């Protein structure tokens, strides 16, 4: 049962707009957020895939790392001490996915890092924002000024019509490639834009001054292609896209290699690379890269129509035996019209097509290991 909404929950600058649009509001990571609007989760999901959806993601943490030396490469080198990612190779105007890791190789959070020329711009998960900011202050203050951005909202415009919609008001946005970042001036507001998102669709994330957020949202929602989309559809969209949710699919008990995130560890940080290791948990993570992990995150396609939700135990046989894994995220995929899930299984059982059984309400139901994503991503490369 959902916890009651209290005044202790934080509200985004778009809170009043959500209420006017008829949103159902729920507590999420300490914030009062819209889970769905009048269309409902299924139609919101499908509308985003077909046209464009506008998401309020202002609960995410926004942080600027300003190098004390004035050299952005010094900020990148400092942040590299905390992540297994090549940030010195991140060019100006580009963004990269990264993870904070701990001494055991577990994931403290995943985040986005953009090189904005004279500083780094970092976006972290809402539920981990306070932890991440403290983590950066503890480890980066010698090299960087850590500026928490508290006066800006964050919007995500996602879907095949996003380019036309945003390009119509932010000239030049349409020419951006996936993971490009740029600054645009629209209606007296300075927009910090990245061509990225959490849906598997082409689209943008837009940081906007808090006092301009409702106005910008109104301009975007006035377009017939755009509908307001809540957290419910955001979750089903990211699941179809095979994207991890922190606290479900990744956490301190999962390493990046187990989580199928080895693609995010560039050659420079791997064994034999120019800056091999040097990040928390490097011995475990480099060992996983060399020898393979004991378990892996995989996609799962349950047979029939019954979904396998998070924490469903997985077995190698229909009867008997110990669990060989568990589901971490699961539900119904509106675009693929079937139940889908992700979870961890023993590496020997991770090949696509492997037949497993998930225990749902005391009964074992069959599922097949599947490649991720469940639906091809449509990023503009």
Q: What is the pLDDT along the chain (381 residues), one digit of tens a residue?
A: 444 555 699 999 999 999 999 999 999 999 999 999 999 999 999 999 999 999 999 999 999 999 999 999 999 999 999 999 999 999 999 999 999 999 999 999 999 999 999 999 999 999 999 999 999 999 999 999 999 999 999 999 999 999 999 999 999 999 999 999 999 999 999 999 999 999 999 999 999 999 999 999 999 999 999 999 999 999 999 999 999 999 999 999 999 999 999 999 999 999 999 999 999 999 999 999 999 999 999 999 999 999 999 999 999 999 999 999 999 999 999 999 999 999 999 999 999 999 999 999 999 999 999 999 999 999 999
User: Which of 150, 153, 155 lies closest to 165 in space, CA to CA?
Assistant: 155
Per-residue pLDDT at 96: 98
DSSP 266-277: -GGGSTTSTT--
Are 233 and 44 contacting, i.e. CB atoms less than 8 angstroms apart? Answer: yes
CA angle 29, 31, 36 (to 5 degrees): 95
Domain 294-381, CATH number (from 3.10.129.10, 1.20.1250.20, 2.40.30.110, 3.90.1150.10) = 2.40.30.110
Most distant pair of Cα atoms in the chain: their distance: 65
In this structure, the dihedral spanned by the alpha carbons of residues 247, 12, 18 and 167, taken in order and rounded to 10 degrees, is -90
How far apart are alpha carbons 183 and 268 in whole angstroms? 29
Question: CB neighbours (10 Å) of residue 12?
Answer: 22
- The domain limits of the chain are 15-56+151-240, 294-381
Token pair of 271, please?
A: 């064994």
Q: Which CATH superfamily is domain 15-56+151-240 in?
A: Probable tRNA modification gtpase trme; domain 1 (3.30.1360.120)
């Amino acid at each position: 049962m959902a916890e009651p909404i209290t005044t202790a929950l934080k509200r985004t600058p778009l809170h009043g707009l959500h209420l006017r649009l008829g949103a159902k509001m729920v507590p999420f990571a300490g914030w009062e957020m819209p889970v769905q609007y009048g269309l409902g989760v299924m139609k919101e999901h499908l509308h985003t895939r077909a046209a464009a959806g506008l998401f309020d993601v202002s609960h995410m943490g926004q942080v600027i790392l300003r190098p004390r030396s004035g050299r952005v490469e010094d900020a990148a080198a400092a942040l590299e001490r905390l992540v297994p990612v090549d940030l010195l190779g991140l060019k100006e105007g580009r963004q990269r996915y990264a993870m904070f890791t701990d001494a055991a190789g577990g994931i403290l959070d995943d985040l986005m890092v953009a090189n904005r020329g004279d500083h780094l711009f970092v976006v972290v998960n809402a539920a981990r924002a306070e932890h991440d900011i403290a983590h950066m202050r503890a480890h980066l203050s010698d090299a960087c000024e850590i500026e928490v951005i508290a006066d800006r909202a964050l919007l995500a415009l996602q879907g095949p019509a996003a380019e036309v919609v945003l390009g119509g008001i932010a000239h030049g946005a349409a020419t951006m490639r996936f993971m490009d970042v740029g600054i645009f001036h629209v209606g007296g507001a300075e927009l910090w834009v990245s061509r990225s998102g959490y849906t598997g669709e082409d689209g943008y994330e837009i940081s906007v001054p808090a006092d301009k957020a409702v106005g910008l949202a109104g301009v975007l929602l006035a377009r017939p292609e755009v509908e307001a989309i809540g957290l419910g559809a955001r979750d089903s969209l990211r699941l179809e896209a095979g994207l991890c949710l922190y606290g479900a699919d990744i956490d301190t008990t999962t390493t990046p290699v187990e989580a199928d995130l080895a693609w995010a560890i560039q050659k420079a940080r791997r064994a034999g690379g120019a800056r091999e290791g040097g990040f928390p948990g490097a011995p475990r993570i480099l060992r996983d890269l060399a020898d393979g992990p004991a378990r892996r995150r995989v996609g799962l396609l349950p047979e029939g129509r019954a979904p396998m939700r998070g924490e469903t135990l997985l077995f190698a046989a229909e009867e008997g035996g110990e669990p060989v894994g568990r589901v971490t995220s699961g539900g119904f995929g509106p675009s693929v019209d079937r139940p889908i899930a992700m979870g961890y299984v023993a590496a020997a059982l991770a090949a696509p097509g492997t037949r497993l059984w998930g225990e749902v309400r005391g009964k074992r139901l069959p599922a097949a290991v599947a490649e991720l994503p469940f639906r091809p991503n449509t990023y503009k490369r």
